[in-house]
Amino acid sequence: MSVVLSRGALRAVIGASDDAPVELRSLTLHGAEAVRPHPLVEVLTASERHERMTLGCRGTTVGARLRLTTMEKGVVTQTDPVTGLSVRTRLALDDGGLRVSHELRNDGAEDVVIFAAPTLSVRTAAEPAQLTLASGRSEWLGEGRWREDAVADLLPELGFAAVAQPDRTGFGQSSAGGWPTGSVLPVGVLSRADAVSVGWQIESSAGWQWSLSRGDGGVVLSAGGPTEREHQAAVRLRPGDSFETVAAGLVVSDGGRDGAFAALTRHRRGLREVREIERSLPVVYNDYMNTLMGQPSTERLLPLIAAAGEAGAEYFCIDAGWFTDSTDYWSEVGEWREAPTRFGGGLGRVIAAIRDAGMRPGLWIEPESVGLDSPVAGALPADAFFQRYGAAVVEQRRQHLDLRHPAAVAHLDAAVDHLVTGFGIEYLKLDYNIEPGSGTDVGGLAPGHGLLAHTRALRDWLVAVQRRHPWLLIENCASGAMRSDYHLLAVTHLQSTSDQQDALRYAAIAASAPATVLPEQAGNWVYPAAAMSEGELDVTLVSGLAGRFYLAGFLNELSADALARVHEAVALAKTLRGDLASATPFWPIGMPGWDDDILCLGLRQEDGSAVFCVWSRGAGGADLALPDVGALTQIFPSGAAWPTGAADDQAVVTVPAGPAAAVFRGERATS
């Protein structure tokens, strides 16, 4: 028995026989195979693990016993006759590929403890020697450091077939703790230049893992989480209980690596319900980065507000520090009420100045953190905070709210409603600067599942806040981009891509950001400074133009020429944003390296034209070839043209010595 899902040129076949579990039998694009038949579901329990020994989540005992119960279009149910565990799999095709999730339900008579149930379990049609893996590492100040590796080097041929055994370890990545993108990324691409490439994305704000292993000629991908091994996660299903896995996306493309990233981009757009207030993609000014650094005052803010309004910013966000008179307020966060004396004339005076300058006001809060010196710490019940073994989880003099608890939700609702109705706040920057470890065991959950349950409650809270205040924009931030996943980004407006304060280093982050975050959500900081050279100024401005233009800096201290350059960039950002929400990224000279002298990001438009952002951080003099480009026009900066030409039917840009940066528009080449 089989069912076929199709959308455009994409076709998936899910099938089952009487004596085997359900398989994803094929996934094709324009008839070209992306995957080979492979069991759709694997399950590790506390009492039953593998049919044959391996450290991965494949060839599981329970998974091998699953048999088809019902099969409908997009929903497949299987049951294990021994434990009574049933698995209901939901599959949906979108513009990028296939989205998958599973619901596990205990229909048996005894408890079943789930240790792992990966969302994706697939086997590629291509063999290891044919594939290249693009994967990313991340870190505070160094987000999105991508690399490409030959899969045959990661999964060498060790002769497992001769002993009729699967490989034991494979290759993979796994998150740790509450920063799901704080060390490695839940995204990957297996590319093949001459055939179909595949990519994946795990949509979780909690623990996740993905791994690759050799499998009968192809490569087996397992992706999901959290798991008992990596994240101290286990869920006890008593008879009648159920559990929903995290969702994940599997995309396919016949356009190689960049085609797979384009498919991931389309998949991410399909996850979002964009509210009307979000569609204009407004330019935001924030007073933090390389500016007030969390020490705002009326006297310091007023000239910044005037300058930001004149530059064309549409929102002005007052960052950290507005809620207390202390300069060291780390352990005081949590109440989110106006500082008693920090602002001469009160916070209301500053907000009025923002509106008078033609902008909408915003504030920074860190909703999940409560400092030990905050009055909230003693006002909420103990179970409203993360705990382990009966003791509060304390990280750097802060506790972590648990949004499963109604008192925690009520506290945050009251805080946000006060800011929105009392001060007219229309933008909230939500930060997340502590990492709580594996999670919380309140309520008898394993800590990894406690963390997962909290992040699901956090998303529910975000959705409810925006329903209550539909004009409110919400920025997702976590010490930069330590939690830039599409469980949260599907329901938030903007993602701060880093806290990196060096413009030259930030260029590498901005150039790679669209591999992980939608271009229209990638908030790249732009922080002009009076001490910057003309080239350094262009570098930070082009980083902003590579995604969402996120402005900061002492604009009031700039020279007339530098300020004119900023105004030009803001105006261009507003011109480009109309196409940003439909653009797909590509990298003409390869994925950006952290120390590369030349960086290049392309944003392809629906009509085939493209915008190219180019940064020079080295000696220059190199000719940068841009394939499939006809007429090439420099659109920023206006006063310093880079030499352009053509060679071998390709557009060529001669890159000057750095620091320097420019933006070009390339028309589609005609044959």
In a shared domain, residues 344 and 209: no
Q: Which domain holds residue 33?
A: 2-271
pLDDT of residue 671: 58
* Within a domain: 505: no
Alpha carbon distance 132, 397 (integer Å)? 44
* 288, 195: one domain: no
Task: Outline where DSSP puts E strands in 30-157.
Answer: 32-36, 38-39, 44-45, 67-72, 75-79, 85-93, 97-106, 112-116, 120-124, 132-137, 145-150
Percent helix, strand, coil in the chain, to 5, is: 25, 35, 40
Residue 569 maps to a domain: no
State the CATH number of the domain containing residue 293: 3.20.20.70
Residue 30 forms part of a structural domain = yes
Give the whole-angstrom CA distance, residue 551 versus residue 286: 6
CA angle (138 as vertex; 133, 143 as ends), nearest 5: 110
CA distance 510 to 506: 6
**Whole-number Cα distances in Å, 45 to 85, 166, 445:** 11, 20, 16
Question: Quick count: other Cβ atoms within 10 Å of Cβ 157?
Answer: 11
What integer pLDDT is reported at residue 490 of this predicted model?
98
**Nearest one of 82, 200, 179, 71 to 135, comparing CA atoms:** 200
Copy the structure tokens of residue 458: 């956090």
Q: Is residue 529 part of a domain?
A: no
478, 608: one domain: no
Both 47 and 146 in one domain: the answer is yes
Strand order in the sheet with 644-647: 623-626, 650-654, 644-647
Pair (481, 443) in one structural domain? yes
Q: pLDDT tens across 473-521, in order? A: 999 999 999 999 999 999 999 999 999 999 999 999 999 999 999 999 9
- The CA distance from 618 to 658, in Å, is 5
Note whether 297 and 219 are same-domain residues. Answer: no
pLDDT in tens, 406-419: 999 999 999 999 99
Give the model's pLDDT for residue 55. 82
Low-confidence ranges of the chain (pLDDT < 50): none
Task: Answer with the one of 231, 253, 271 that is the final residue of a domain.
Answer: 271
Q: By the 8 A CB rule, do 386 and 436 touch? A: yes
**Same domain for 171 and 236?**
yes
For residue 467, how far is the Cα from the chain centroid?
A: 23
In a domain, 506, yes or no: no
Q: Of 206, 241, 271, which closes a domain? A: 271
- Select from 403, 342, 343 the least CA-distant residue to 368: 403
pLDDT at 217: 81
Helix (H), strand (E) at residue 629: strand 629-636
Residue 33 shares a structural domain with residue 12: yes
Give 39's strand partners. 23
In 16-78, where does DSSP find H-type helix? 61-65
Query: Are residue 238 and residue 302 in the same domain, yes or no?
Result: no
What's the burial of 628, exposed, middle or buried (CB within 10 Å: 0-12/13-18/19+)? middle
Compute the distance between CA of residue 59 and CA of residue 52 in angstroms, rounded to an integer: 7
Query: Among 219, 249, 271, where does a domain finish?
Result: 271
Residue 95, in any domain of the structure: yes
H helices of 209-340, in order, are: 228-231, 256-271, 298-311
Half-sphere exposure of 506 (CA within 13 A, CB side): 33
Q: Is 247 inside a domain boundary?
A: yes
In the chain, the number of structural domains is: 3
Q: Side by side, which strands form the sheet with 598-604?
A: 584-586, 598-604, 610-616, 660-668, 629-636
* 233 shares its domain with 379: no
Structure token pair of residue 272 = 């979002």
**Please, are residues 290 and 336 in contact by the beta-carbon 8 Å criterion?**
no
List the beta bridge partners of residue 395: 398
For residue 610, the domain's CATH number is 2.60.40.1180
Characterize 114-142 residue by residue with b for buried, 16 or more Cβ atoms within 10 angstroms of its Cβ, and e for exposed. bbbbbbbbbbbbbbbebbbbbbbbbbbee
Report the Cα 23 to chain-centroid distance in Å. 29
Burial of 104 (0-12, 13-18, 19+ CB in 10 A): buried
Strand partners, 189: 134, 199
What residues contact 158, with CB distance under 8 A and at least 6 apart?
167
Helix (H, G, I), strand (E, B) or coil at 137: strand
Domain assignment present for 222:
yes
How far apart are alpha carbons 401 and 383 in whole angstroms?
Answer: 9
**Is 294 found in the same domain as 266?**
no
CATH code where residue 9 lies = 2.70.98.60
* Amino acid at residue number 347: L
Burial of 649 (0-12, 13-18, 19+ CB in 10 A): exposed
Do residues 417 and 472 make contact, with C-beta atoms less than 8 angstroms apart?
no
Q: How far is 552 from 564, CA to CA, in rounded Å?
A: 15
Is 204 in the same domain as 313?
no
Element (H, E) at 199: strand 197-203
Residues 661/616, Cβ–Cβ less than 8 Å: yes
Question: Please, what's the largest Cα pairwise distance for the chain?
Answer: 79
213, 185, 231: which is closest to 59 by C-alpha?
A: 213
